[in-house]
Structure 1
Amino acid sequence: MKPLCLLAVLPFTVSLPAHAQAGETARVPVVDVRVLMVAAIDSPSGSALGVLTNKDAENITRHFKASGPILIDVTTVKRYAQAGCSRLKVSFRQEGVQVPGQAPGQPHTVDFGINYCRDGQPPRSLS
């Protein structure tokens, strides 16, 4: 999967999608996780929620015979002094994933942290 190399984004949905949890903010359909990373940096709450809707997502879902979409949660861990730069936690989650050696149909999560700025570059300083 190449989550950081795609550039287009689909329009924001106004209604609550079927994959959103009750009481959860609507998820933005995206083909590039960077859209959510910038949204989290700009958000007063420091978070952004999305659902991956590109060909990679379709292929991953089919390969793992998953029962749900790939959900993405981006949260701000720390805001740096450099404007538009933050430490972010990016979490990919999918329900019903079938991985060899694990019970079938389990939820699967992949988390990572990244120092990221609105311009796509890392911050010049971590203070």
Structure 2
Amino acid sequence: MIVTKCLITIATITLLATAANAAESVSVKVLLMQALNAPNGAAKGVVEGKEADAIHAATGASVPIRAEVSTIKKFNQEGCSRLAVKLIQPNTPTKEGGKTDFALNYELNLCRNGTPPNEGMDLGKAAKILGN
């Protein structure tokens, strides 16, 4: 009976972990949209696809990449925010032979429709820079 309970517990934990990992694997774009739509303005998950492939190729490590997206500022324009993105790859090899956490941080202004917000843009200055 004890062995049966242990096996059931192990099977349950394995199924839950597998389901949680499958649900969390996403692209950075999906996480950005989730953060824009989330009441708390945040989203996190494990990055997969071409973004993860590019980081794996650059670092030489295959450890999964965690992503955290948070809202820094909401613009007056509906559905638009300034977002902070943090990508973390633990146990990345260094040139010295050790291992460290590789982190890539950046910020961007984004609206739910995929464009940047108009707020704060000097469209006249941008036109001059672009030669229009």
Give the number of aligned pairs: 105
More helix by share: 2
> Equivalents in 2 of 1:37, 1:44: separation in Å?
13
Q: Specify every segment of 5 or more residues in structure 2 that has no aligned partner in the other structure, as ranges.
A: 1-16, 121-132
> Equivalents in 2 of 1:116, 1:38: separation in Å?
9
Q: CA RMSD in A?
A: 2.7
How big is the shift at 1:120? 1.1
Which residue pairs with 1:3 in the alignment? none
How big is the shift at 1:67? 5.9
How big is the shift at 1:104? 1.7
How big is the shift at 1:63? 5.2
> Equivalents in 2 of 1:27, 1:49: separation in Å?
11
Contact between 1:67 and 1:105, CA under 8 Å: does it hold in 2?
no
Which residue pairs with 2:36 in the alignment? 41
> Equivalents in 1 of 2:23, 2:71: separation in Å?
17
1:123 to 98, 112, 117: 117
1:50 to 37, 45, 50: 45
Which residue pairs with 1:93 in the alignment? 88
> Equivalents in 2 of 1:27, 1:47: separation in Å?
16
Which residue pairs with 1:6 in the alignment? none
How big is the shift at 1:28? 2.2
Contact between 2:28 and 2:51, CA under 8 Å: does it hold in 1?
no
Are 1:114 and 2:108 an aligned pair?
yes
Q: Specify every segment of 5 or more residues in structure 1 that has no aligned partner in the other structure, as ranges.
A: 1-12, 18-25
**Cα distance change of structure 1 residues 15 and 59 upon mapping to structure 2, 3 Å threshold:** same
How big is the shift at 1:90? 0.4
Contact between 1:80 and 1:86, CA under 8 Å: does it hold in 2?
yes
2:69 to 67, 74, 77: 74
TM-score by length of 2: 0.67
SS at match of 1:16: helix
TM-score by length of 1: 0.70
Give structure 1 regions of 4+ aligned residues with deviation exceeding 4 angstroms. Answer: none
Bigger radius of gyration among the two: 2
**Cα distance change of structure 1 residues 89 and 100 upon mapping to structure 2, 3 Å threshold:** same
